[in-house]
Amino acid sequence: MSLHLDHFGLSAEPFTKEVEDQYLWTPPSKQESIDEIVEAIEARQSIAIFGEPGVGKTCVTRAVRRVLPPERFRLTYYHNATLGRRDFYRQLCLALGLAPSITAAAVFWAVSNHVEDLARDHVHPVFLIDEAHLLHQDTLDHLHILLNYQWDSKALLSLVLIGLPDLDTRLRLRRNRSLQSRLGRTFTIDPIAPEDTADYIRARLNAAGCDRELFPTDAIALLHEAALGSLRDIDRIATLCLRAAARKKRKTVDRDVVTRVLKQIGETRS
């Protein structure tokens, strides 16, 4: 067992990215996004979710998946956004359990048939494309066609595009107008607020079996400033702080420990 887990009586690494769905942290600020995204998908809309790296876009999407009833929604998740159009359709087939065809037209035909079959069974397919800012333009060019069933009269499929704010910029380009105009809503996941940082740290320590306040308020303030509201950065810095405090046999992770860690990783802003 790692020293810091032992020292602080933790049952597991608290700030790992392998957070299980049932332990996802859902404060009011996140719950609101989750509820609105669920509502949009239940209304069979296609949507886009933007946010800076590490603010929790993928985790929000996972929380959404937990809520949507599987008998009514079939979710397919992609993060291979760097693929070209042909590979994209091929992957789509594989994820849907269809035999990948050789030509783009055949793949498209297989996918559309499958989507229509699902519609007959009253199952609504939802294609989530994570890291969508990386999509090749020729894939992006084709996405709106996927949404265009039966002369655009029916929403047989919801696309959920998830990406950095660059995705927003790209979607606004004239070239991507057809796709953008088919998105029912867009959401921005904001960096978290200082009081959320405290709550997040507490929640994750709690999930790892610690109910003590390991990080005093002033230490959290410093950590928040350094992480700029990115949960991934909080994870990384908080883990280093726990290790440093354990090495020094401290009962809590005090401000001076955080200061030293930030200095070591060159992220101090003072």
Ligand X SMILES: Nc1ncnc2c1ncn2[C@@H]1O[C@H](COP(=O)(O)OP(=O)(O)O)[C@@H](O)[C@H]1O
Least distance from Mg ion to the Cβ atom of residue 130, Å: 6
Nearer to ligand X, 54 or 125 (CB): 54
40 binds, among Mg ion, ligand X, none (CB under 5 to 8 A by kind): none
Return the SS3 of 192.
coil
Examine residue 163 and tell whether it contacts ligand X (CB under 6 A). no
| Residue 72 CB neighbour total at 10 angstroms | 11
Q: In a 10 Å sphere around its CB, with 0-12 CB exposed, 13-18 middle and 19+ buried, how is residue 77 labelled?
A: middle
232 binds, among ligand X, Mg ion, none (CB under 5 to 8 A by kind): ligand X
Examine residue 165 and tell whether it contacts ligand X (CB under 6 A). no
Nearer to Mg ion, 33 or 58 (CB): 58
Contact residues toward Mg ion (CB under 5 A) are: 57-58
Nearer to Mg ion, 57 or 204 (CB): 57
Considering only residues 52 through 91, tell me which ones interact with ligand X, judged by CB under 6 A.
53-59
Six-digit token string for 149: 């069933």
C-alpha separations of 206 from 9, 95, 142 in Å: 11, 36, 45
Instruction: Order the strands of the 46-50 sheet from edge to edge.
Output: 73-78, 124-129, 158-163, 46-50, 183-188
- Whole-number Å distance between alpha carbons of 161 and 188: 12
Considering only residues 195 through 254, tell me which ones interact with ligand X, judged by CB under 6 A.
231-232, 235
By CB under 6 A, name the binding residues for ligand X. 17, 19, 24-25, 30, 51, 53-59, 231-232, 235
